[in-house]
Amino acid sequence: MADKKEYKVVGTRPIRHDGVDKVTGRALYGADFHAVGLLHGRVLRSPHAHARIKSIDTSRAEAHPGVRAVVTAKDFPEVEDKIADLGEGAANLKDLQDNVLAGDKVLYKGHQVAAVAAIDPHTAEEALELIDVEYEVLPPVIKVLDAMQEDAPLLHEAMKTDEMGEKADKPSNIASHFQHKQGDLEKGFAEADVVVEHEYTTETVHQGYIEPHNATALYNADGHLTIWCSTQGAFAVREQVSEILQLPVSKIKVVPMEIGGGFGGKIQVYIKPIAAMLSMKTGKPVKVLMSRADVFEGTGPTPGSYVRVKMGATKDGHITAAEAYLAFEAGAYPGSPVGAAAFCVFSPYKVENGQVDGYDVVVNKPKTAAYRAPGATNAAFAAETVIDEICEKIGMDPLEFRILNSAKQGDIRIDGPPTPHVGFVETVEAAKDHPHYSAPLEGENRGRGVASGYWPNFGMASSVAINVTADGTISLVEGSTDIGGTRAAIAMQAAEVLGIPAESVTPSVVDTDSVGYTAVTGGSRTAFATGYAAYEAAQDVKRQMVERAAKLWEVAPEEVQFADGMFSTVNGKEQEIDFKGLAARLDETGGPIVGRGTANPDQPGPSIGVHVVDVEVDPDTGKIDILRYTATQDAGKAVHPSYVEGQIQGGAVQGIGWALNEEYIYNEKGEMTNASFLDYRIPTCLDLPMIDAVIVEVPNPGHPFGVRGVGETPIIAPPAAIANAVYRAIGVRLKELPMSPGRVLKTMGKI
Amino acid sequence: MPRKVHVQTTINGETAEFLCEPRQSVLEVLRDVLYLTGAKEGCNNGNCGACSVILDGRLVNSCLVLGAELEGKSLETIEGLAEPDQLHPIQDAFLENAALQCGICTPGFIVAAKALLDQNPNPTEHEIRYWLAGNLCRCTGYDKIVRAVQDAAKTMSSEVSA
């Protein structure tokens, strides 16, 4: 269906439609929302990592002047113990409710316990100090391997391991163990000339979006609840709030405000149901905002993990066997991204003999949430550095090794499904051909490393409606919150179909009552799947416009063709009219035109990235500097290349932060000790060079323009690429993330 | 509740008066009292720069200054940069270079960049990176932001010389 085509709009770089609002400060984000009579809510959080709640007394807070309502878990309705699909990861609703306001136990420092609505934020903060909670403090367990021990403190006393489909007989912190297997592992390792096996650990890291979570809710006397908030998925908020508060979805309207970053972390709800409960009690609109510390301590980061990878290869570079053991911290409730890690760990490669074991383990940390290619980065850090060591041992160029072992369409993956149409070889070749890869790198303590990252991408449901305007423009109504320029990427796909400029589209992201169901902005799906729905809606408009032209010219619709923005009659060029001209004549040909499109595409097309990095290590301090960075990635077809580059650059830099210094630091009480942007240090522009983003285009046959999602892949490769570069710089292999100065010096044997 | 303070100040060239609690920061006054919500709260402790404003010619984090301190001072915010019919060259450069994704840090970056170019019209890449290190962006990796500031500097110096 899609091959390398030239387009008029797709592939160009128009100014984004929401741009002026965002550079002038006029765009309204969740926290910017204001309503008459607004009350302000604040949340009391657990000071302990693990404790039983013996009692909560809210009477002093309720009596505080200016306080209008207090809520605790007692105010929740009963919910079923069932799993809900949240778009980018599923969650048990009882767990979700318990995570929103703790019931019998608090399971991490920062766990929400109670909330107050008051006349202003400071009064609400004062009132939190007047809530008396009596705790019985329990021993915490913070690290995945500790939590897996038989004598570890149990978070959920009744939870038993799902051991490959069978329930174990004893309670455990291991929520589940699964296994994928293919071929004959023993035979594969016996055929290998080189076998490399290592253990790796990674720490908890946060998405680090700059905008804290926010929600304003208004519950009306007629039973209708409206929530204004920043979210990756207005419909996902609606579903979760509906289940948590046991309200029908039709009674809830979620209005997505502009969103200040999410990266997977703004799908799960935390304070939205609380704002709703406070509004139900007061009858007033209630705005609840998180502080930065709340965000670090109380919202889902991505897991710390223990990963062991063993790989064998022949001396001419063929992988003969690969094995991975993945133990992931789910946080306080089951549901780490270990499943995604398992299908990504060896997916770029053809592995005939393989086994992957995954363990989902609860620990006394916030429940993990999705974070850009969730799970894949942890896994790739291990697999891609093992590969680097194999290449060193057999004397093979690491990019050649990747081309030689690349999985082709139809090759069966260890986890079962066949490899879809991928552009891995083309992406590796782009890295190999880039001047960076062959540039000399001189100087002491400097090294170059490479690594690749694989992400399958997601499709899922999207809806779009298009209204044709009399001046020849269209308004495009969509349900995907725009987190990084997707209004433009979606509008451009409709414009391409209709032969109009991108500027002739007015895209609007609307509330859940005003557009059909649309899944979250996540899974690298928005430009792909909502773009697909926009394509379908534009096709619907085109069909109707053809009928109008036929009516105008008194010919059969089959006699009207549409090409290059022009409607004309098939036989010769007796009649022609452009989109704008015809749009002005809708009234006389039958009235308004509304096009509709829905999509639930099942071939998102994986996106693979290959990164090349030069580092310099300071042997005295252990600090790693990034000297040069090149990231190549298959975008299928880049709809708006500037924003595709932006995704690649931003993802790479998040990966660099993860590689070099980001981590939750815990004390022995299980308290995070660095819950601020000062101490949890994300990269600043001074830490970085320019990031050269190279777009490779191997069209995805599952999309009319060949689009593949690009958002998640670029975070995967950086830690492994940097570790491989560090090895070439100083001769030691780092197997712990982050590769902070202390860990570098320790690995060098200097401390 | 503490008694409110009356403050008279200049915001974006115009006289402004407001009442605020002594404990309210400039950021709270801008957002919650004056409804100038272009300055954003990302951390409320001076580490992210999303609330950057220019106070008497100096770049500051508005979350670290008290509202009452604005008495008699002059404040520039993101809302004051564009002319009614024309964006500021830095704003144009951010759009042309696709230097924003989610946009939450953008007002802070633009204000910080203006403070830089006001005092150093031709900064090197390193000077730009050094100056903007107090502003965090999690989406872009900074590449396009740095390029946008470089482009804006070029445009603004050619406008001056023209």
Q: How many CB pairs under 8 A join A and B?
A: 190
Q: What is the CATH number of the domain that holds B75?
A: 3.10.20.30
Is B94's CB within 8 Å of A212's CB?
no
Q: Is the pLDDT assigned to residue A104 strictly greater than 60?
A: yes
Q: How confident is the model at residue A245 (pLDDT cuts 50, 70, 90)?
A: very high
Q: Is the pLDDT assigned to residue A3 strictly greater than 60?
A: no
The answer to whether residues A49 and A109 touch, using CB atoms and an 8 Å cutoff, is yes
Q: What is the mean pLDDT of residues B132-155?
A: 98
What DSSP state is assigned to residue A150? T
Contacts of B112 (CB under 8 A, 6+ apart): B49, B52, B59, B131, B132, B134, B135
Q: What is the pLDDT of residue A217?
A: 98
Chain B's closest residue to A296, CA to CA, is B43
Helices (H) and strands (E) in chain B, counts: 5, 5
Are B97 and B66 found together in one domain? no
Q: Is the pLDDT assigned to residue A4 strictly greater than 90?
A: no
Contacting residues of A for B143, CB less than 8 Å apart? 645, 649, 688, 690-691, 693
Q: What is the pLDDT of residue B1?
A: 66
Q: How confident is the model at residue A94 (pLDDT cuts 50, 70, 90)?
A: confident
Chain B's closest residue to A14, CA to CA, is B96
Chain A's closest residue to B43, CA to CA, is A292
Contacting residues of B for A15, CB less than 8 Å apart? 95-96
Residue B78, classed as helix, strand or coil, is helix
% of chain A exceeding 90 in pLDDT: 96
Is A646's CB within 8 Å of B39's CB?
no
Are B48 and B102 found together in one domain? no
Contacting residues of B for A16, CB less than 8 Å apart? 95, 98
CA B97/CA A333 separation, integer angstroms: 42
Contacting residues of B for A484, CB less than 8 Å apart? 101-102, 139
CA A419/CA A402 separation, integer angstroms: 16
Query: How far does B1 lie from chain A, in Å, by closest CA?
Result: 8
Q: Which of A23, A34, A263 shows the shortest C-beta gap to B94?
A: A23
Is B47's CB within 8 Å of A678's CB?
yes
Contacting residues of A for B1, CB less than 8 Å apart? 65-66, 120, 123
Chain A's closest residue to B1, CA to CA, is A123
Q: Which of B37, B40, B45 shows the shortest C-beta gap to A211?
A: B40
Is B45's CB within 8 Å of A13's CB?
no
Q: What is the pLDDT of residue A2?
A: 45
What DSSP letter does each residue of A374-390 carry, written as one string? TTHHHHHHHHHHHHHHH
Chain A's closest residue to B109, CA to CA, is A23
Q: pLDDT per residue over A261-290, tens digit each?
A: 999 999 999 999 999 999 999 999 999 999
Q: Which of A258, A261, A693 shows the shortest C-beta gap to B138?
A: A261
Is A643's CB within 8 Å of B98's CB?
yes
Say if A354 is an interface residue toward chain B (CB within 8 Å). no
Q: How confident is the model at residue A88 (pLDDT cuts 50, 70, 90)?
A: low
Are B94 and B33 found together in one domain? no
Are B67 and B98 found together in one domain? no
Are B133 and B76 found together in one domain? no
Among A509, A685, A710, most B C-beta atoms within 10 A, so best to mutate, is A685
Q: What is the pLDDT of residue A80?
A: 77
Q: What is the pLDDT of residue A86?
A: 63
Q: Is the pLDDT assigned to residue A55 strictly greater than 80?
A: yes
Q: How confident is the model at residue A5 (pLDDT cuts 50, 70, 90)?
A: confident
Residue A119, classed as helix, strand or coil, is coil
Q: What is the mean pLDDT of residues A67-85?
A: 89
Q: How confident is the model at residue B80 (pLDDT cuts 50, 70, 90)?
A: very high
Are B69 and B99 found together in one domain? no
Q: How confident is the model at residue A93 (pLDDT cuts 50, 70, 90)?
A: confident
Q: How confident is the model at residue B160 (pLDDT cuts 50, 70, 90)?
A: confident
First to last CA, chain A: 59
Q: Which of residues 558-617 of A touch B (CB under 8 A)?
A: none
Rounded to the nearest 10 degrees, the angle between the axes of helix A234-245 and helix A93-100 is: 90
Domain-terminating residue out of B39, B59, B80: B80
Q: How many domains does chain B have?
A: 2
Lay out the sheet containing A132-137: strands in order across. A105-106, A51-57, A132-137
% of chain A exceeding 70 in pLDDT: 99
Strand partners, B7: B18
Phi, psi of A165 (to 5 degrees): 95, -15
Q: Residue A106: which of A72, A82, A80 has the closest Cα?
A: A72
Domain-terminating residue out of B80, B98, B125: B80
Contacting residues of A for B100, CB less than 8 Å apart? 19, 22-23
Q: What is the mean pLDDT of residues A11-15?
A: 98
Q: Which of A23, A292, A646 shows the shortest C-beta gap to B95?
A: A23
Residue A624, classed as helix, strand or coil, is strand
Are B71 and B104 found together in one domain? no
Rg (alpha carbons) of chain B, rounded to whole number: 16
Domain-terminating residue out of B80, B104, B122: B80
Q: pLDDT per residue over A597-618, tens digit each?
A: 999 999 999 999 999 999 999 9
Say if A19 is an interface residue toward chain B (CB within 8 Å). yes
Q: What is the mean pLDDT of residues A312-319?
A: 98
CA A473/CA B108 separation, integer angstroms: 33
Q: pLDDT per residue over A555-589, tens digit each?
A: 999 999 999 899 999 876 689 999 999 999 999 99
Are B30 and B74 found together in one domain? yes
Query: How far does A395 lie from chain B, in Å, by closest CA?
Result: 34
Query: How far does A21 lie from chain B, in Å, by closest CA?
Result: 9
Q: What is the CATH number of the domain that holds B142?
A: 1.10.150.120
**Per residue, what are the HEC states of A681-698?**
CCCCHHHCCCEEEEEECC
Is A258's CB within 8 Å of B103's CB?
yes
Q: Which of residues 630-689 of A touch B (CB under 8 A)?
A: 640, 642-643, 645-647, 649-654, 676-678, 682-686, 688
As a whole number, the mean pLDDT across chain A is: 96
Are B76 and B102 found together in one domain? no
Q: pLDDT per residue over B26-45, tens digit each?
A: 999 999 999 999 999 999 99
Structural domains in chain A, CATH included, are 19-26+459-599 (3.30.365.10), 33-138+211-260+266-298 (3.90.1170.50), 305-457+605-747 (3.30.365.10)
Say if A691 is an interface residue toward chain B (CB within 8 Å). yes
Q: What is the mean pLDDT of residues A643-663?
A: 98
Q: pLDDT per residue over A400-414, tens digit each?
A: 999 999 999 999 999
Are B51 and B76 found together in one domain? yes
Contacting residues of B for A289, CB less than 8 Å apart? 41
Is B100's CB within 8 Å of A22's CB?
yes
Q: Residue A53: which of A112, A115, A116, A119 has the closest Cα?
A: A112
Contacting residues of B for A13, CB less than 8 Å apart? 98
Q: pLDDT per residue over A187-209, tens digit each?
A: 999 999 999 999 999 999 999 99
- The alpha carbon of A618 is separated from its chain's Cα centroid by a whole number of angstroms, namely 33
Are B60 and B119 found together in one domain? no
Query: How far does A64 lie from chain B, in Å, by closest CA?
Result: 11
Cα dihedral across residues A527, A533, A539, A545: positive or negative: negative
Chain A's closest residue to B89, CA to CA, is A23
Q: Which domain holds residue B43?
A: 5-80
Q: What is the mean pLDDT of residues B82-98?
A: 97
Q: Which of A289, A483, A691 shows the shortest C-beta gap to B143?
A: A691
Contacting residues of B for A683, CB less than 8 Å apart? 141-142
Is B103's CB within 8 Å of A27's CB?
yes
Q: What is the mean pLDDT of residues A28-52?
A: 98
The CB-side HSE value for A679 (13 A sphere, CA atoms) comes to 12
Is B43's CB within 8 Å of A28's CB?
no
Among B139, B140, B145, most A C-beta atoms within 10 A, so best to mutate, is B139
Among B138, B140, B145, B149, most A C-beta atoms within 10 A, so best to mutate, is B138
Q: What is the mean pLDDT of residues A652-665?
A: 98
What DSSP letter does each residue of A541-567 carry, written as one string? HHHHHHHHHHHHHTS-GGGEEEETTEE
Q: What is the pLDDT of residue A81?
A: 78
Q: Is the pLDDT assigned to residue B113 strictly greater than 50?
A: yes
Is B107's CB within 8 Å of A25's CB?
yes
Q: What is the mean pLDDT of residues A20-25?
A: 98
Q: Is the pLDDT assigned to residue A1 strictly greater than 50?
A: no
CA A728/CA A724 separation, integer angstroms: 7
Q: What is the dihedral of CA A327, A330, A334, A335, to 10 degrees?
A: -90
Residue A620: how many CB atoms within 10 A of its CB?
Answer: 9
Helical (H) or strand (E) element with A310: strand A305-313
Are B10 and B76 found together in one domain? yes
Instruction: Specify the range with the lowest mean pLDDT, choosing from A224-233, A309-318, A562-571, B143-152.
Output: A562-571
Is A688's CB within 8 Å of B91's CB?
no
